[in-house]
Chain A
Amino acid sequence: MNAFFNMNFLTELLLSTIRMATPILFVALAETYSERAGLVNIGLDGIMSFGALIGFLIGYKTGSPTTGILAGALSGVAINMIYAFCTIRLCAPQIVYGMAINIFAPALASFIYRLSFSDTSTLIQGVSMKAMPIPVLCNIPVLGPLFFNHIPLVYMAYLLVPATAVFFNSTKAGLNFKAVGEFPKAAETLGINVVLQKYIACVICGALAGIGGAYLTICYTSTYSEGIVAGRGFIALSAVIFGRWMPSGVMLACLLFGFCDALQIRLQLLSPSTPYQLLQMIPYLCTLFVLAFFGIRKSGPKANGQPYYREER
């Protein structure tokens, strides 16, 4: 137990938390944008796996991690356009299309992987993004390595949080955006192009989710294996609801989850006699308990999940 109070252990744990929370944060932010515009997208897992593959593939072929990330973002957008078209234009049920993407995208990713790499006995090593320490700040005793010695993408993820908050609360574009998710008909009468805003939301969602996936295969590890996403899309979904659709809350939710996940691995090492499955339940049970304790009365943007029929006045 004294391992807990070892400073090294704690720093490592927190570092791990930040690392493990980042991909979830990207995807959770993606979903926040989407749901704020009234579109529930449960196909995040699928978009992530596709982004992970394309990011890996392009990174491998070009040798540049940044190109890979960009490719991941673009591929996420491409896949999400299927969702966008069917739910916005055709007003089809959003849950179904999320599901369909979850089946379609990983299958397509696996297919393309097969075609590109065939069968080898070792996992192909792709490119890896290097950490970029911020010059002066990273030398601060404890906080330095914790906050200021990360891969650029990690910085981007955490900077996106206040950026999103500012966008939603203080900019006109952001307020219009939110209006689309709350009262689309009212927004339309105010001259806001509801359909366009929804499409924009889908583009942002697809891009961020794609980046989250590409992060897994370029920054977090530098290989692609089927199943690398490991259900993170659904965790992100929960994080959005947990964080009450606010960027700050979402970030806290992701950090909580990352913390529990990092903790659970270390607990396994500390007490090898405890069945590892029980320890692995910790993140999920923790989320549930915290949720149940605080309760959530707010149920999100009012027009969330509802198709928007422009013709109905």
Chain B
Amino acid sequence: MKKTMKTASLIMAAVLTAMSLAACGSASAPTTAAGSSAETSAAETTKAETTKAEETKAADSSKASGYKVAMVLDSSVSDGGWGASCYQAMVNAAKDSGWETVYTDNVATADFTTVMTDYAELGYNLIFAPGNQYTDAVKQVAEEYPDIKFALLNGTVETENITSILPDAKQIGYMAGALAGLMSKTNNIGFIGGMELDTTKAKLECYEKAAQKVNPDIKVSSAYAGSFSDTAKGKEIASSMVSTYDVDVMFGDASAVDTGAREALAGSEGRYDIGQPGDLGSADHKIIICSVVTDNAALLKACMKDVEADTFGGKTIYGDLSNGCLSIGTFSNLVSQDIQTQYKEIVDQIKAGTFIQ
């Protein structure tokens, strides 16, 4: 009887394994779902990913320069926001420079140092930490491994082997606020934050200033979701902003939460969203009127060049409008040509520093 129990448990385990195998199977087999581009590109990227993984193992590809970069991320790479865009940035930068990439996501705070140490031990040349929250871990591991270089996004640390990358949060806020001010018909705009990072606070402040400069009657409602992944909460916050304050343009700094907010906006006419940090809109998008694009890839590429040239470390690389790291995304057709021209002028002013004194 003991045997039957054991076999029963093994059968259960086999069933679960079968489930996972089925999942494997579905990833490679083409599906008959409505052939949306996302689906086919997902299948392609899966194939590409497995081949990339094999390449990484073999450590030699057509364009390999022999350099490797690793990213440590506390959220998920598929969060549709910060994590995803940082990952894309790394991949794009690496593709241009012929580097290999690898990442670990969903890393718990307590594991930052462990994961970074692992990568350092494996000999990765550059470790990319996309956020200020990694500062402690980066400082600690950088000290123990002086030959490994660290790129800290939104950081303020500069040592021999740490370079900080700082996109200009103020300009991001100005850009978003100006557009919101121009587009809002109800004079009420909204802002959703994830956590109260200083960069988020700066963005909010400048969002408000810029909007009010463009349209002095603008009122801003803001809320913090307290999370970067609770999509449902984003939806709730956005719908209450819309119904209580008649907000018609929103801007978010909260990754997956922003996606939820957009869903709420989709439910009513004439409610819009400004995306960031990637170029999330398109010409026929009904919700996203434009994005404030942060080209983290260019900044990372600069770091990679430094590593190759052995000039790394001891500086902060700023990303703003003047060096092209911040830019206007794709306008949706909902934004009239008139407003587009006005906006571009304002952005030029922001770039020159004359918009808000």
Asked whether any CB of A lies within 8 Å of a CB of B in the complex, the reply is yes
Please report which residues of chain B, range 76-106, place their CB below 8 angstroms from some CB of chain A when the two chains form the complex: 76-80, 84-85, 87-88, 106
B12 smallest CB distance to A (angstroms): 6
Docked complex: B198-247 residues within 8 A CB-CB of A? 221-224, 226-227, 229-233, 235-237, 239-241, 243-245
A265 to B227, CA, bound (A): 13
A265-B257 Cα distance, complex, nearest whole Å: 14
The segment from A133-141, A249-257, A268-276 that touches chain B is A268-276
| Cβ of A148 to closest chain B Cβ, rounded Å | 18
In A96-127, the 8 Å CB interface with B consists of 108, 110-113, 115-125
Are B236's CB and A120's CB within 8 A?
no
Known: A115-B27, A221-B263, A226-B76. A266 touches B233 (CB 8 A): no
Contact partners of B19 in chain A: CB under 8 A? 78, 108
Do the beta carbons of B77 and A119 come within 8 Å of each other?
A: yes
Segment from A57-65, A183-191, A197-205 that makes contact with B: A57-65
Chain A nearest Cβ from B159, distance in angstroms: 31
Task: Name the CB-closest residue of A to B220.
Answer: A272
B122 within 8 A of A: no
Judge if A167 is at the interface, Cβ distance under 8 Å: no
Contact B34 A63 (CB under 8 A): yes
Tell me how many residues of B have a C-beta within 8 Å of chain A.
56
Q: Is B8's beta carbon under 8 Å from chain A?
A: yes
> Which residues on the A side are within 8 Å of B88 (C-beta)?
121
Q: What's the count of A-B pairs with C-beta under 8 Å?
A: 154
- In the bound assembly, the distance between CA atoms of A91 and B97 in angstroms comes to 59
User: Are A117 and B23 interface neighbours, CB within 8 A?
Assistant: no
Contact A269 B223 (CB under 8 A): yes
Cβ < 8 Å to A, chain B residues 294-309: none
Residues of chain A having any CB pair with chain B under 8 Å = 3, 6, 8-9, 12, 16, 19-20, 60-63, 78, 81-82, 85, 89-90, 108, 110-113, 115-125, 216, 220-223, 225-228, 230, 262, 265-266, 268-269, 272, 276-277, 280
Residue numbers of B with Cβ under 8 A of A are 5, 8, 12, 16, 19-20, 23-24, 26-27, 31, 33-34, 38, 41-42, 45-46, 49, 76-80, 84-85, 87-88, 106, 196, 221-224, 226-227, 229-233, 235-237, 239-241, 243-245, 256, 259-260, 263, 278, 280
Query: Can you list 17 A-B pairs, Cβ within 8 angstroms, ordered by A?
Result: A3-B244, A20-B236, A61-B31, A89-B5, A119-B87, A120-B38, A120-B42, A122-B80, A122-B280, A123-B78, A123-B259, A125-B38, A220-B235, A225-B256, A227-B230, A228-B230, A269-B245
Given contacts A61-B33, A225-B79, 4 further A-B contacts (CB under 8 A): A121-B85, A216-B232, A269-B240, A280-B226
